[in-house]
Chains A and B, each alone.
Chain A
Amino acid sequence: MNIEQVKFNKELIETSRYSKFQDFHNLMQFRVRDILLVSSLYDSYIFEEDNRLYELIRQEYQLLNLSHSPELVQVSSGAEAFKMMDEDRHFDLIITTMHIEDMSVISFAKKMKESGIDIPIVLLGYDNREMIDLISTRDISVFDKVFIWQGDYKIILGIIKFIEDKKNVEHDTKKFGVQSIILVEDSIRFYSSYLPAVYTVVLKQSQSLLSEGINLSHKFLRMRARPKILLCSNYEEAWDYFQKYEEYILGVISDIDFHKDGRPDPKAGLEFATKVKEHQQDIPVILQSSLPQNEKLAISVDASFLLKDSPTLLDDLRKLMVKYFSFGDFIFRLENGDVVGRASNLNELEEELEKVPEESIIFHASRNHFSNWLKARTEFWLAHQLRPKKVTDFSSTNELRRLLIDSVKEFRKSRQIGVISDFSSETFDETTTFARIGGGSLGGKARGLGFVNRLLSDFNIRNRFENVKILVPPAVVLATDVFDQFISDNNLLEFALKCNNDKELENRFFKAKKFPGYALNSLLEFLEEVNDPIAVRSSSLLEDSQGQPFAGVYETFMLPNNNPDIKVRLKQLLHAIKRIYMSIYFQRSKDYIKVTTYRLEEEKMAVIIQKVVGANHNGKYYPEFSGVAKSYNFYPNPPLKSHDGIVSVAPGLGKYIVDGGISFRFCPKYPNHILQFATIDDLLNYSPHEFFALILNDNLKNKINEDDLIKKFNLFEAVKDGTLDYTGSTYSIDNNSLYDGTDREGTKLFTLAPILKQKVFPLPEILSLLLDMGSWGTGSPVEIEFAVNLTVPDGKPKEFALLQMRPLVVSNEIEELELESFEKESLLGKSDQVLGHGVINDIKDIVFVDQKKFDRKNTVKVAHEIAQYNSKMLNNKTPYLLIGVGRWGTFDPWLGIPVTWEMINGARTIIESNFSDFNVTPSQGSHFFQNLTSFKIGYFTINELDEQGFIDWAWLENQNVIEQKEFTKHIRVENPITIKINGHKSKGIIVKPG
C-alpha cells in the first residue's frame, strides 16, 4: 500500500461510511404532511366516523412507528380549495371525493392543474357504481390515482404512501439503492384494499428488522429506507418501472389479467413475469388471480401464486413475502430446496455462515441473496460490501465463506465501536470499546475521546496503515452522576466549597466511605477484564470545552494495576478516583476558576479509566514515545508554514512533554527538515535524554502516593530495554558524525531518525491525516496527544494511540493589524515571534526580572517573587506586563522560571527573553500555552543573541520603582504602554508611553 496516498481529502470523506451510506436524512425528501380533503359534507361524514378520522390516522401511524402523521384540512367546495391556494397555504396532497359542493370533481381537478398548481390530486370514491360510470365515461387521467373507500380509514395511509413512494423512488434509488416492489393491479377496488395492506406488511416487517442495538431516533431514520411499493395499473407502466429500476427490484406482485396495449390481456401477468425473469432470474414474482387454474400457469413461469379470493389472502401474502422477499429470517438452503440453517440477525448470520455446507453458500452468494437480505434491513453499507462477490471470483468456496464471515464480523464490530455504549462485561471487548458507567455527563475530555473514536470508525482509519493499528485505548468513564452521588452520600459539598486547606480536604475525602454500589460493581468487572496498567484521568464539565482549556489543572494518575488480589486493585483505583474528585476543590483549581466566568458549584467530575499504552520493559511500563501534535504552529520556520503543524515527541510517557521538558520537534509535512538541531552540539544538549515510565511493583500497599509510581530514567535505560531501536541515532566521537540507528558504537540519542528518514513507521503520515481529520471534524485547529507502542507480539500490528484531541485555541480575528513602522527608541520591545492578536493599551505596570541579579540557579525563588506580585495585582485588578528570561512555565528550573499558571494569571502580556549565555527554544508542548491563548494573553519571545527582537532594558531600569525584591522589580509608568500584536504575522511591538 502506498503510504503517500493516504491523505485526508475529498475522496476520503466521500468514501467514508459516514457520508454515503449513513445519510438517511436525505431519503424520502418528499413527505406528505399536509393534506387538503375536498369533499362534500355528506361525503366526509362517511369517512369521519364520529370525527375520528384524524385520530385514527394518527393512531395508525403510531402503531407502525412512523413519525409525523399528517395534518388534515377539510373544505367542502372547490372555491374554498382555491381560496386556500390563494392564501398560500401549503399542501402536499389533495384528496377529493366524488362530490364537492360547487363543481364536478373532474373540472375541479382540471382547474387545479391548469392554474399551475403542482400538487398531486387523488380521487377517493366510495360508491362503486358511480365510480365505474365516471371512469368509463370521463377522462380521469387528470387524477394521479383513483381509489375507492371501502370502509377502512387505512386507505388514507395507502394513498399517502403511494404518493410518497412515487415521488421519491428516483432519488432514493439512485442515492442509496433503496429497493422497490412492483405491484401491478388494474382493479381499483382491489388495489384500494390491497395496497394499504401490502404497505402494512412491508412497514411492519421492515421495523422488526431494525432491532440490533440501534436507538429510537435511528430507527425512525432507517425506516426511510424501507422498500417502496410502485403501484401500476397496466403492462406499460409496470415495464417502464422495471426497466428503470431493474437492479433494485425486491420483488413483483402482479395480477395475471390486466391491460396491455390499451386492451385487457388475460396473460399480461405471465408475460410480464417471464420477461422479468429473463432479465433478472432471481427476482421473486408473486402472481395473483381470482381463477385457481392460473396457479399452474404461475408455476410454469417460475412464480408463486396467490388466490385473490382466498380468505387468508393477506396472511398468505405476508408469508410469501417473508419467504421470498427477504423479510424474514435468512434461510440457508441447498439447490434442491432443503433447509440447512436459519439466521434472524447479523449475529446468527455470522454463526450460521461457519456451519452451513459449501453448496448452500454458493447457492445464496451467486444469487446475491445476502445482499438483498441485508438491504431489507437497511444495512446498505454491508450489502454493498457483499454484493459484487461472484463465486467465480474465488479460488475456493472456503475463501468465499471466510470473506463473508469476516465482512459481517468486521461490520458488527465496527458498528459497536463508534458508539459509547453502557458498560457491561459481556460486551466489553478489551481491544475496542469505550463504555460508560452511570448517568449524567461524560465531561469534556471523555466527550473528546468519544468523538475521536467515532471519527476513527467513520473514516475507517483504524486499519488504514499496514501493520499499524490506530486506536483510542479502551476505557470506561464514570459519568458525573457517580460523582454527584459520592458527594451527596458523604455530605461533602458544603465543606468542600468552603475549605481553604488542601490537606484537610484530602483527609476528608479519603475518609469518605460511601461509593455508589452499581459503580463499584462495574469497576470490579472492569478490573476483571483489564489487568494492564491503567490511567485514571479527570474529565470535568468545564475541561476542554471549546474556548476554555483547563488543561493541567486537574490530575491524571497511573496505576500498575497488577496486584494479584483484585480487591487491592480496586482499593487503589478508588483511591485515585477520590483524588480526582477532590481536585476540583483544591486551592489551585479554585484560583483558576476565579478568573473564568464559571462558578465552582457548576463544576462536576467524570473520571476516565483507561488502559495505558505501552509495554513492560524490565519492570518499567512505557511506550516507545509520546507526543503532542498541533495543526497550527505558532513559530513556523521556512519552508514551514503555520498551518503545516508541529509535533513534539519525547521517549516514554507523555508526562515529560506535558510538563515542559525538552522534546524533539518536527513538522509532519517536512519530516526530513529538523530545525531544532543545527549542529551536533545542539543535538547533544537539546534532545531529550530522559524519560518517564511507570514502575511495576507488586508490593504496593493500598494507600499509595501515585506520584511515586512514575519515575524518571536516563535514556541509557531505554537503550538497554531496546526501545530506542526505532527512534535513535548514534553519535560517534571518533568520527564526529551522527549515524541513523543504534547499530554503531557511540552515544545514543533520541532523534526519531529511523522513523522520519527510513520510514519504518508511518508517523508523519498518520499525524497529518489525523490533524486534517481533526480540524475538519471540529471546525478549528486541533491539538492531539498520542503515544506509540512498537513492542508487540509477532504478527500483531504496532499501536498508535490517540490519547486526547482538543481544539487549539487560536485567535479568530480576521482583520490584519498593521504595525506601523516605529522608531526603535519609541519601542520598549519588539519581536517577530508573538502569540496572540490585538491591541492592549491599558497597562501601566510592569514586573520584570532584574537581568543583573538574575541567575539560573535562583529561578525557583524568582518564581515565588513573581507569584507575590501576581496576587497583589489580581487583588487590585491591575493588569500588568511580565518580562522574564528562559522558558516560562517549564518544570526544569534550569531552563526557565518554573511558574504554574496561577502564579502569573494576572499578566496581560508576557515576554520570554533569552538567557545571556544559553539559548533555549521556546516551550510549546506544555499546558501553559493552552491557557495563554485561551485567555488571550499576548506572549512575546525575544532572543537578543540571535537578533530576534529586543527589549530596552535600560529604559526599564530608569522607571519609577513601586516594589523591589531580590531578583525582580515592579515599576509603574504615568501613561499606559501600548502593546500591538499581529497574530497572523506573529509580529508584535510594545510602544513606550507618551
Chain B
Amino acid sequence: MSEFVKNLMSQVKAKNPSEPEFHQAVYEVASSLSLVLEKHPEYRKEKILERIIEPERVILFRVPWVDDQGDVQVNRGFRIEMNSAIGPYKGGLRFHPSVNLGILKFLAFEQVFKNSLTTLPMGGGKGGSDFDPKGKSDGEVMRFCQSFMSELFRHIGPNTDVPAGDIGVGGREIGYLFGQYKKLRNEFTGVLTGKGLNWGGSLIRPEATGYGAVYFAAEMLSTRNQTLEGKKCIVSGSGNVAQYTIEKILHLGGKPLTISDSNGYIYDEAGIDHEKLQFIMDLKNVRRGRVKEYSDKFKTATYFAIDPSVDYNPLWNHKADCAFPSATQNEINGKDAANLLKNGVYVVSEGANMPSTIEAIDQFLNAKILYGPGKAANAGGVATSGLEMSQNSLRLSWSREEVDQRLHNIMKSIHKTCVETAAKYGTPGNYVNGANIGGFVKVANAMLDQGIV
C-alpha cells in the first residue's frame, strides 16, 4: 500500500484503539481511492481524508429506564454524526447488545458514501444502543425509546440529523421515538424516516430496493443500447427484495426464471408471470410456505433442494442474461461467478448487501460484464428514505406512481454518476470504482468548498 495510506492507518489505529471494524472500513476506502488521491493533490493538502475519517460529532449518553418489575435499567445511547457536507446527517439506529462505538463508527463511515451516491442531499450518520429488545414487553420498549429520545431530541431535527431504523428498530420503535420527539419539541416534522404510512411514511418502501436494482440493471443495459425486454433473469431469494425485483422485471418486459429460499429453489422454464408472482407473494407473505410449493402448483417448474455437499449453488448455473442476487451475503462465490459467465450472463445487479465474494467480483470485472455492486444497485432503499424526507418537507404524500417515478430518476442519476466517474478515472465500465469514487468525490468537493470546519 502507499506511504500515504500507511501513515493514515497508523494514525487511525492510534487514535481509535480497539475499534477493529472501523480500521477495516477506513482501510478499504483509503485503498480504493488511490486513483483519486493521485489526481487531486488538493485533497491531500486540505487533509480531506484525515478530516473525513473523524466524525463531526459523537454523542454518548445515558439511557435509564424502568422495567415491568419496577427495576431500574441503564443502557448506553450513541449517535455518530459523521459528515454533513452535502446534507443533514442520515443513518439508522440499531438496538442490539453487540452495539458499541467501533461498530457504529464503521457503519456511519460507510453510510456517508452510500448516501452520497444516491445523489440526494443526505449526509452520513449512525446510532443506537446496547439495549436488547429480545423478550421485552411493549411497555418496556416504549419506555426505553422515550428515555432514549428524551436525550437524543436535542441533537436531531429535520434539518440537522434524521435517523431511521436498523436492526432492532422497526416500525414499532420508530413510532415510539417519533411520538416522544413530537411531545418534547412540539412540532410535527420529518425528523425520522421509516414512519408509518398514516403519519408521514412514504409509499414504495418495501418495493424500493427491488425496483431500484432492476432500474439500475436497465440503465446498465442502455449503455449497450439494450433493454430488459425479453431478457432471461435469474433471481435469488423470495423476500421483499426478490419479489419486487421480479415485479419490476415483468414491468420492463423481462423474463424472471427462479426464486429460492433456505431449503431450495425453483426453476420455471416458462418464466414467472404476474399470476405466478401473486402466488409467490401469497405463499411467502400470507401463508409463509416454502418455495417447493410453487413447483407443486405450476408444472412448468422444477424444484431443486439444497445440497450443501457441493460448494457452488446450482441456482447460478442456468442459461440466462441477467442475475439479480437478492437473498443474502456471500451467495455468489468464485465458482458461481464462473458458472454465470459460462451460461452467458452479462448483467449482475445486486439487490442484496455484498452478495458476491471478492473472487466473484474479480471475475465479473475481468470479464468486463455489466456488474452493478450493491452499494449502487441497492441504493433504492436508502433513496426512499430521502424521498420520505422530501415528502415531509413538502407536506405532501406522493402516490405510488410519483414515488416510483422519482425512484427511477434517482437510479438513473446514480448510474450516471458511476459511469462518468469510472470513465473519468480511467476505468470505464467499472461500476465498483465508479460507485466508490463517485460517492467520495461529491463529499470531498463539498468539504473543500465549506472551509476548514
A contact set with B: CB distance below 8 Å:
637, 639, 670, 672-675, 678-680, 684-685, 689, 714-716, 732-738, 747-748, 757, 853, 855-857, 894, 917-918
Contacts and interface: CB of A to CB of B under 8 A. Distances in A.
Contacts of A680: 170
B138 A737 contact: no
B231 to A, nearest CB: 27
B165 A736 contact: yes
A747 B171 contact: no
Nearest to B240: A733
Contacts of A732: 171
Nearest to B203: A734
Contacts of B134: 675, 678
B309 A716 contact: no
B135 A678 contact: yes
Given A855-B307, A857-B306, A637 B170 contact: no
Nearest to A757: B138
Interface string B135-161: 111110000000000000000000000
B183 interface: no
27 contacts: A637-B135, A670-B68, A672-B137, A672-B139, A675-B134, A678-B134, A714-B287, A714-B289, A715-B288, A716-B286, A733-B206, A735-B196, A735-B201, A736-B170, A736-B194, A736-B205, A737-B170, A737-B171, A737-B172, A737-B175, A738-B172, A747-B286, A747-B288, A857-B306, A857-B307, A894-B263, A917-B262
A673 B137 contact: yes
A962 B137 CA distance: 51
B260 to A, nearest CB: 14
A156 B285 CA distance: 88
Given A670-B68, A734-B201, 8 more contacts: A673-B137, A689-B288, A714-B287, A734-B203, A735-B171, A736-B165, A757-B138, A855-B308
Given A857-B263, A857-B306, A716 B170 contact: no
A704 to B, nearest CB: 27
A734 B205 contact: yes
Contacts of A853: 309
A728 to B, nearest CB: 13
B305 interface: yes
Please indicate which of the listed interface residues A714, A734, A757 has the most CB atoms of chain B within 10 Å of its own CB.
A734
A675 B135 CA distance: 4
A672 B172 CA distance: 15
Interface of B: 68-69, 133-139, 165, 167-168, 170-172, 175, 194, 196-197, 201, 203, 205-206, 240, 262-264, 285-289, 305-309
B138 A715 contact: no
A853 B310 CA distance: 10
A675 B134 CA distance: 6
Q: Is the interface of B mostly helix, strand, loop or mixed?
A: loop
A965 to B, nearest CB: 15
Contacts of A679: 133, 167-168, 170
Contact of A673 (B136, B194, B240, B309): B136
Nearest to B287: A714
A918 B197 CA distance: 33
A672 B68 contact: yes
Contacts of A747: 285-286, 288
Contacts of A856: 263, 306
A733 B287 contact: no
Please indicate which of the listed interface residues A673, A757, A855 has the most CB atoms of chain B within 10 Å of its own CB.
A673
A778 B118 CA distance: 67
A734 B135 contact: no
A715 B285 CA distance: 12
A673 B134 CA distance: 9
B171 A736 contact: yes
B315 to A, nearest CB: 16
Contact of A734 (B69, B175, B206, B305): B206
Contacts of A675: 134-135
A673 B305 CA distance: 37
Contacts of B306: 855-857
Please indicate which of the listed interface residues B135, B139, B196 has the most CB atoms of chain A within 10 Å of its own CB.
B135
A735 B136 CA distance: 21
Nearest to A738: B172
Contacts of B68: 670, 672-673
A688 to B, nearest CB: 10
Nearest to B136: A673
Nearest to B139: A672
Contacts of A735: 171, 196-197, 201
Contacts of B308: 855
Contacts of B289: 689, 714
Nearest to A684: B288
Contacts of A714: 287, 289
Contacts of B175: 737
Contacts of B307: 855, 857
B287 A689 contact: yes
A680 B167 CA distance: 10
B350 to A, nearest CB: 21
Contacts of B137: 672-674
A757 B137 CA distance: 9
Contacts of A639: 69
Contacts of A715: 287-288
A819 B308 CA distance: 38
Contacts of A855: 306-309
Contact of A678 (B69, B133, B288): B133
The 7 A-B pairs at the shortest CB distance, nearest first, are namely: A737-B171, A672-B137, A678-B134, A675-B135, A736-B171, A689-B288, A735-B196
A736 B170 CA distance: 6
Contacts of B69: 639
A757 B165 CA distance: 25
Contacts of A685: 288
Contacts of A894: 263
A245 B258 CA distance: 91
A895 to B, nearest CB: 12
Contacts of B138: 672, 757
Nearest to A740: B138
Contacts of B139: 672
A659 B270 CA distance: 39
A637 B285 CA distance: 30
A734 B288 contact: no
A736 B195 CA distance: 9
A918 B308 CA distance: 13
A716 B284 CA distance: 12
Contacts of A918: 262
B130 to A, nearest CB: 15
A684 B194 CA distance: 20
A794 B285 CA distance: 35
Contacts of B196: 735, 737
A329 B240 CA distance: 80
Contacts of A736: 165, 170-171, 194, 205-206
A918 B328 CA distance: 14
B168 A674 contact: no
A691 B138 CA distance: 27
A480 B22 CA distance: 74
Contacts of A733: 206, 240, 285
Contacts of A737: 170-172, 175, 196
B87 to A, nearest CB: 24
B378 to A, nearest CB: 17
Contacts of A857: 263-264, 305-307
Contacts of B309: 853, 855
B197 A734 contact: yes
A670 B67 CA distance: 12
A748 B285 CA distance: 9
A857 B292 CA distance: 12
Nearest to A714: B287
B261 to A, nearest CB: 10
A796 B151 CA distance: 52
B287 A716 contact: yes
A913 to B, nearest CB: 16
Nearest to A916: B308
